Amino acid sequence: MPNGRNADPAVVAAKMARIRDPHVKPLNDLADRIAESMGLPHGRVPYVDPDQGGIDARVLVLLDNPSTKAEAGTGSGLLSLDNDDRTARNCREAYARHGVPWSQVVHWNVVPFPVAGVRNGGSTAVERAGAVRWTRQVVELCPNLEQVLLLGAAARDGWARDGWARAGIGRDLYVLPGKIPHCSARGLNSPGGRERFDAAIAQIARSLTW
């Protein structure tokens, strides 16, 4: 499997030097506020990769929680398509296959902080309920959002918990339908998972040409 570019410390350093660029600063300031609220040092809540669209994105891609390759210390410290893991690779290859520009997407997690313990990498319902307010703030910070892609059951659950709040934002966001799997190997290898994921990315690509 080809390494993600973030396997190179120089690439990560160059990205980290840009985490306060205007299009990602509001989201990365939010990441720091989340860390502070939990008594964590800055950086433990991974930052949005400045190579993504940030607040200018038209598509919000929600996953569950940070992987070890996204966490500071064990990984890049970035929510990045360049991370050196299979999940990031599956997503970046799908974007390349269908022509989805990174500038049009922003990735976030319904639980943006590292989850406690070892539970096969998954967040709990309690953690997702507690993080609802942060998903809401991400939506509020991104005025150009048109679509939301929920990857996996945890992302769907976390998003559903904030249905009442999104109505108050006054935004008409299109949520791609169907049970689209997480882009991990486990998710894509579920029955029909790879096909549903690929179809969703293709639909996003078509919409971005409108």
Give first-to-last CA distance, the chain, whole Å: 34
* CB-CB neighbours of 93 under 10 Å: 14
**pLDDT of 1 over the 50 cut:** no
Mean pLDDT for 48-73 is: 90
Mean pLDDT for 136-141 is: 94
Pairing type for strands 78-79 and 147-150 reads unpaired
Cα-Cα-Cα-Cα torsion 35, 80, 109, 76, nearest 10 degrees, comes to: -40
Determine the 3-state secondary structure of 20 from DSSP: coil
**pLDDT of 118 over the 50 cut:** no
Q: Which of 54, 62, 30, 34 is nearest to 200 (CA)?
A: 62
The fold adopted by the segment(s) 5-207 is Uracil-DNA Glycosylase, subunit E (3.40.470)
Mean pLDDT for 115-133 is: 79
**pLDDT of 3 over the 80 cut:** no
**pLDDT of 176 over the 90 cut:** yes
**pLDDT level of residue 165 (50, 70, 90 thresholds):** low
Mean pLDDT for 10-27 is: 97
Summary mean pLDDT of the chain: 89
Q: Taking a C-beta distance cutoff of 8 angstroms, is the pair 36, 116 a contact?
A: no
**pLDDT of 166 over the 70 cut:** no
pLDDT tens-digit readout, 182-199: 988 888 889 899 999 999
DSSP-derived secondary structure for 143-174: TT--EEEE-SHHHHHHHHTTHHHHHHHT--PE
- Name the residue ranges covered by the structural domains of the chain: 5-207
**pLDDT of 164 over the 70 cut:** no
**pLDDT level of residue 75 (50, 70, 90 thresholds):** confident
Give how far Cα 159 sits from Cα of 8, 76, 153, 186, Å. Answer: 34, 26, 10, 21
